[in-house]
Amino acid sequence: MTSSKPTIAGLFAGVGGIELGFQQAGFTPIFANEIDKYAAKTYQANHSHELNVGDIGSLASDAISTDLTVLAGGFPCQPFSVAGYRKGFEDDRGNVFRDIVRLIQDRHPEVVFLENVKNLRGHDGGNTYKVIQESLEASGYTVAAKVLNSSEYGNIPQNRERVYIIGFREPEANAHFQWPKPVKLSKPLGELIDFEKKVESKYYYTDARPFWGLLKEEVTKSNTIYQWRRQYVRQNKSGVCPTLTANMGMGGHNVPIIKSRYGIRKLTPRECFNIMGFPEDFVLPSDLADSQLYKQAGNSVVVPVIERLAKEISQAIRR
């Protein structure tokens, strides 16, 4: 049974999307760690609790309070040496999951909450997920995992499938936990993207681009999102945004494109954060390059999905 004010600490925190979702569900963020100085800048513009900026390998366990309900993180997907895991990660000292396990075992949070790409389940022939599950179980947790799409579980028009791994220290809490049920997608793209608004000229494509002719020929419908895929244009016909990626501001690949009233343009960073479910008052530092903001949006989580999961976790640990 958790205290009256459950707490959360975030690892690989990015801009703090997981912490924000848990906060909206009644948790109090108390600590976070993030290595990227640009993401940390956005984090600190929106959160007042302590943020440790640095490599998780150098993060001391006692930096995190022992009065911790949830330890969370959207960690990078890396291959594991199963043999190394059997030896206590001796062969995997560069692998960040080793540090997650270290912090879990030192701080014993009530709940471990991990988020990753859908393909984690089959990564490295299934070894990666096997190591994660066995490591959490060996640390005293009962583990559940499920892939959720934000268009089905967050009422956000983005096709974004992510695996959520939840470990409960108390078997009773795990028994009470229920995955959220799907919700009908009722939020249109037009609520998150203003197809009628004129934005800065840098976001529009012109005949100065070598692929302008192709864009002009293919991008013909309003209220629809297209993607420039280096060699061709792909229309999304399902009425939702394709998965936003961290590299969408790095040279053109995967950039979401729309036909607005004022021309053909890419989504702005603010619109990308909208499609990740961040609130309108979420601060995007004006002195950060667009490439960094696109990366931060693509690396983050869909906040309403996190909030729904956090509410279910809260119910499970309070019963």
CA distance 256 to 272: 9
Give CA–CA dist 186/265, Å, rounded: 25
DSSP at 1: -
Instruction: Count CA atoms closer than 13 A to 273's CA, side-chain side.
Output: 21
Q: How many whole angstroms separate alpha carbon 319 and alpha carbon 316? A: 6
Task: Output the average pLDDT for the chain.
Answer: 90
CA atoms within 13 A on the CB side of 70: 31
Same domain, 153 and 60: yes
Q: Tell whether 221 is covered by a domain.
A: yes
Amino acid 1: pLDDT: 43
pLDDT at 319: 72
Q: Is residue 114 helix, strand or coil? A: strand
Q: What is the pLDDT of residue 257?
A: 92
Same domain, 216 and 287: yes
CATH of the domain at 163: 3.40.50.150
| Residue 311: pLDDT band with limits 50, 70, 90 | very high
Q: What is the pLDDT of residue 66?
A: 84
* Residue 199 structure tokens: 């934005």
| Number of domains within the chain | 2
Do 233 and 286 lie in one domain? The reply is yes
Amino acid at 283: V
Same domain, 252 and 306: no
> Same structural domain for residues 76 and 197?
no
> How far, in Å, CA of 293 to CA of 288, rounded?
7
Q: How far is CA 14 from the centre of its chain?
A: 8
* Same domain (yes/no): 54, 170: yes
Per-residue pLDDT tens over the stretch 181-207: 999 999 999 999 999 999 999 999 999
Same domain for 267 and 306: no
In this structure, the chain runs to a length of: 319
Label residue 209 by pLDDT band (50, 70, 90).
confident
Dihedral sign computed on CA atoms, order 219, 225, 226, 228: positive
If one compares 88 and 128, the residue with the highest pLDDT of the two is 128
- Among the options 45, 77, 214, 233, which is catalytic? 77
Report the pLDDT value the prediction gives residue 75, as an integer from 0 to 100: 86
51 lies in some domain? yes
pLDDT at 92: 55
Note whether 200 and 279 are same-domain residues: yes
Q: How confident is the model at residue 2 (pLDDT cuts 50, 70, 90)?
A: very low
Query: Which has more pLDDT, 231 or 84?
Result: 231
Cα dihedral 13, 182, 254, 78 in deg (nearest 10): 50
Distance CA 271, CA 192 (A): 6
Verify that 49 and 108 share a domain, yes or no: yes
DSSP count for the chain of H helices, then E strands: 11, 11
Residues 69-89 pLDDT 10s? 999 999 886 655 555 555 545
Any idea what the Cα angle at residue 27 is, between residues 38 and 32, rounded to 5°? Answer: 30
Q: Based on the residue annotation, tell me whether 241 is a catalytic residue of this protein.
A: no
- Cβ of 175: how many Cβ atoms within 10 Å? 11
Domain membership flag for residue 271: yes
Question: In which domain, by residue range, is 51 found?
Answer: 7-185+300-318
Of 107, 91, 98, 180, the closest CA to residue 141 belongs to: 107
- Residue 1 resides in a domain: no
Confidence (pLDDT) at 8: 98
Statement to judge: residues 144 and 271 lie in one domain: no
Note whether residue 2 is domain-resident.
no
CATH code: domain of residue 289: 3.90.120
> Is the pLDDT score of 57 beyond 50?
yes
Distance (Å, whole) CA 300 – CA 298: 6
CB 111 within 8 A of CB 167: yes
Q: Tell me how far CA of residue 263 lies from CA of 54, 281, 284, in angstroms.
A: 42, 27, 25
- 33-37, 76-80, 221-225: the lowest-pLDDT one: 76-80
Asked if residue 200 and residue 180 are part of one domain, the reply reads no
How high is the pLDDT of residue 250?
Answer: 65
pLDDT digits (tens, 9 = 90+) for 269-301: 999 999 999 999 999 999 999 999 999 999 999
Looking at the structure, tell me whether residues 131 and 13 fall in a common domain.
Answer: yes
Strand runs labelled E in the chain:
7-11, 28-34, 50-53, 70-73, 111-117, 142-149, 161-168, 226-228, 233-235, 255-260, 263-266
What does the block give as tokens for 3?
């205290």
What are φ and ψ of residue 177, in 5° steps? -70, 135
